[in-house]
Amino acid sequence: MTRFRFAAVGDNCIDRFQPPVGQSLVGGNAVNVAVQLARLGHDALYFGAVGDDADGERTKKALEANGVKTSHLQVRAGITAYTDIEQAPSGDRIIAYEDFGACAGYRPNDADFAVLKTMDHVHLGWIDDGGALRRRLVAEGVSLSQDVSVNADQQNLGVEGLTVAFASAGARDMAAEQRLDDLLAAGAGCAVVTCGEEGALARYKMEKAETAIKPVTVIDTTGAGDSFIAGFLVAFIAGRPLAACLENGRDQAAITCTHVGGFPQQPMPL
């Protein structure tokens, strides 16, 4: 297996699962993607910011315990981001409240950017910079992806120049197909739309592919999309066919659905 060098940039948070779960775990799109890439055997670096609190130290230790390099993790005054999560009977998560804490206003410094330019691929999670880092990395020719579904603010949703744009849809229908068209028309090289329990769709150049889900007993869907991204990217950067990329993402998402949180870890009580 070729070992790639990946970087994940942006959000981290403490996922606070409300009763009856009553546990908290480390998560966030960029953190989950970084951890899953490391667990798949690749070099993974995390670029982001945590608060100077116990949750910040906890996040750093969770990343390092999973083989993610944290030399570019910033510790900023204030609290580490957190998300209050409720669960539907199906296991689907419901975000009740979120505070972006130290993640808000995070920017990689010049030394960070110099390293990002050397990566085989960079994935962007939630980052509130109006697309500045995306444009700067695109100008340097860096292979780049972003999950646009985790950025609610319209000014952070540009996809022009992305190697892969990830988005989510409620169902595999005409709206999902239109989402693919829109992402490609806006300048993404490859577009991927995940459709929950109905699988995923993708288009890249002249290729089009889709996949169903891999049936498992669902405990929790938190982080399943992030695991999908990691699995897809590993196959995509290796040059595998689009259908194989979707299947690799599907299989990683299925594993994540069988436990609470975005990756296996020791939870803490609320």
User: Is a pLDDT exceeding 90 seen at residue 219?
Assistant: no
Give the orientation angle of helix 29-39 with respect to helix 54-65, to 10 degrees. 30
Looking only at the bridges linking them, the beta strands covering 23-27 and 13-17 are antiparallel
Neighbours of 208 (CB within 10 A): 13
What does the pLDDT look like over 145-197, one tens digit per residue? Answer: 999 988 767 777 789 999 999 999 878 888 999 999 999 999 999 999 999 88
User: Is a pLDDT exceeding 70 seen at residue 91?
Assistant: no
Largest CA distance in the chain: 49
| Per-residue pLDDT at 152 | 63
Q: Are 222 and 93 in contact (CB under 8 A)?
A: yes
pTM for this model (two decimals): 0.95
From 10, 11, 32, 3, select the one nearest 261 (Cα to Cα): 32
| Per-residue pLDDT at 221 | 85
User: Is a pLDDT exceeding 80 seen at residue 104?
Assistant: yes
What does the pLDDT look like over 105-137, one tens digit per residue? Answer: 999 999 999 999 999 999 999 999 999 999 999
Helix-, strand-, coil-residue percentages of the chain, each rounded to 5: 35, 25, 40
**What's the CATH code of the domain at 39?**
3.40.1190.20
| Per-residue pLDDT at 120 | 98
Domain count, the chain: 1
Provide the domain limits for residue 57.
5-269
Question: Between the CA of residue 140 and those of 48, 66, 130, 135, 161, what are the distances in Å?
Answer: 20, 30, 18, 9, 11
User: Is a pLDDT exceeding 70 seen at residue 251?
Assistant: yes
What does the pLDDT look like over 5-54, one tens digit per residue? Answer: 999 999 999 999 899 889 999 999 999 999 999 999 999 999 999 999 99
